[in-house]
Structure 1
Amino acid sequence: MSDETRVLFNADCPICNAEICHYRAYTKARGLNVAYDDLNSDALSDWKIDPETAARRLHVVKEGKLYVGVAAFVALWSEMPRYRWMAKIVRLPGIWQLSNGVYERILAPWLYRKHLKRSRKA
């Protein structure tokens, strides 16, 4: 992987894809150094994680460091001027713990279950 910020996401998830497509359009329009990899493509092999792990959480590599879950969102938002305020708020004590709790216990598991259901139907 290069020095650019890279995002690994599930393009088969309608919610994930819509959000990441928005970020991709935003970063591209501003010439920001962010690349996006669909976990359902050959790009997954560059990440050295298995498809199940990739589908469970958002993953971002920034400055050579891997961020997962809420930390991945914060790393991505920090790259985008319009979203830096969200990164700052989520980093605040209390908000950080709440955000992680909601993402890890509710949002990520729900999205992953939806992913499994779509996979079984395919």
Structure 2
Amino acid sequence: MTTETHVLYNARCPVCRAEIDRYRGYAEARGLPIAFHDLNTRDLADWGIGADAAAKRLHVRQGGRILSGVDAFIALWRALPRYRRIARIVSLPGLRQAAHLVYERLLAPRLYARHLAREGRAAS
């Protein structure tokens, strides 16, 4: 089976790891062609993204295209039968833009700030 969807996430983020672990468990139990990659243990050159940019939001690669943020979540949800309904809902005009604003202005920056704080504590 060829892996069609690749997910790049930050396994050092407890929130990110918990969410991705749920998706991974679901995908593996059903033999879905999805691969999950921890940005902290990957060479990011094949993603064309630096570690800092990778840590700022979720990334999904499908068919050579790299999506990030809400678009990455929608792509991942579409690849998981149980989550296709939420992908359709979040993709609705207006709702997609609202989800993008919430993710980009609230959620992702807070998670990234926590990531930087954890990395700072680990370095000291």
Tell me the TM-score normalised to structure 2 length.
0.94
Instruction: Tell me, yes or no, if the aligned pair for 1:3 and 1:64 is still in contact at 8 Å.
Output: no
Structure 1 residue 47 displacement after superposition? 1.4
Give the counterpart letter for 1:88 in structure 2: R
Unaligned segments of structure 1, at least 5 residues: none
- Which digits, 9 at most, give the CA deviation of each residue in 1:24-79, with x for residues without a partner? 01001001000011000034333121000000010000122111000000000000
1:17 — aligned with what?
Answer: 17
Within a 5 Å distance, the mapping from 1:4-83 to structure 2 comes to 4-83=4-83
C-alpha RMSD over aligned residues: 1.2
Percent identity over paired residues = 54
Tell me how far apart the structure 1 counterparts of residues 47 and 80 of structure 2 sit (CA, whole Å).
23
Query: Is the Cα–Cα contact under 8 Å of residues 8 and 36 in structure 1 kept in the other structure?
Result: yes
The TM-score with structure 1 as length reference comes to 0.95
Alignment size in residue pairs: 121
Cα distance in 2 for partners of 1:3, 1:18 equals: 22
Structure 1 segments (4+ residues) deviating >6 Å: none
1:66-105 → structure 2 map (5 Å cutoff): 66-105=66-105
